């Protein structure tokens, strides 16, 4: 059973998260597929939870969207009650608890989530799978294109990199997966987070970064 579930999550999509000295880089493709059928070419697979934290989505879009909505609600309520943002570790733990609870109700969320953000403890990246397993990472990739992405990340990424230096690596990793993995495709979602702001990149900005990475103008 577990292998079948994991195959459903891993089929389609590539997401990448990188921890930098000054923040976080999150990058995904934009293709949604069902088997060999391409359901959409413009899916946003990065959910902004608050202005200091976001998540990437691999797997079932409906399941992941429900989790994103729950994270947004709880993050907002915490900010109202405590007058400060929800810590990144708490966002990750809440995500883990949601997945674990759903699994034990025999209605698991068919998704894999990366939680990335920055708070008073610095930049942090967590992976949560459908079993609720929570791991803290310096870099991570999910989805069927992740083996291709890891080939780029592990040869070029360094923990000492700033967002400016790490961003092209994340884009290059997802772009390589787009070229070599049939479940990954079409466009890019990019979000960067530093201590001052969260930035969602426009189409024009993404095209420029991609042109710089590929050498195609």
Region class of 20: left (phi > 0), else alpha (psi between -120 and 50), else beta: beta
With a CB cutoff of 8 Å and minimum separation 6, the contacts of 190 are 25, 26, 27, 46, 167, 170, 171, 200, 201, 205, 206, 209
Instruction: Please give the DSSP secondary-structure letter assigned to residue 186.
Output: S
How far is C-alpha 76 from the geometric centre of its chain's CA atoms? Answer: 20
Q: Which is the catalytic residue, given 13, 15, 56, 192?
A: 13
* Residues 34 and 205 sit within 8 Å (Cβ to Cβ): no
202 counts as catalytic: no
Tokens of 66: 């429900």
H or E element in which residue 137 lies = strand 134-137
- In whole angstroms, what is the distance from residue 169 CA to residue 153 CA? 7
Give catalytic residue positions: 13
């Amino acid at each position: 059973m577990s292998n079948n579930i994991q195959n459903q999550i891993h089929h389609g999509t590539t997401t990448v998260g990188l921890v930098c000295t000054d923040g976080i880089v999150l990058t995904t493709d934009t293709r949604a597929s069902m088997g060999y059928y391409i359901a959409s070419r413009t899916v946003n697979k990065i959910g902004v939870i608050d202005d200091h934290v976001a998540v990437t989505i691999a797997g079932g879009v409906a399941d992941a969207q429900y989790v994103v909505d729950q994270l947004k609600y709880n993050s907002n309520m915490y900010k109202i009650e405590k007058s400060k943002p929800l810590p990144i570790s708490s966002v990750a733990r809440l995500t883990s608890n949601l997945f674990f609870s759903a699994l034990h109700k025999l209605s698991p969320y068919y998704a894999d989530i990366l939680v990335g953000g920055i708070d008073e403890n610095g930049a942090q990246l967590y992976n949560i799978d459908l079993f609720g397993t929570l791991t803290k990472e310096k870099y991570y990739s999910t989805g069927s294109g992740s083996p291709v992405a890891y080939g780029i990340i592990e040869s070029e990424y360094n923990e000492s990199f700033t967002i400016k230096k790490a961003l092209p690596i994340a884009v290059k990793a997802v772009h390589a997966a787009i070229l070599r993995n049939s479940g990954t495709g079409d466009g890019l979602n990019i979000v960067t987070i530093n201590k001052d702001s969260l930035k969602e990149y426009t189409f024009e900005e993404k095209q420029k970064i991609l042109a710089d990475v590929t050498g195609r103008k």
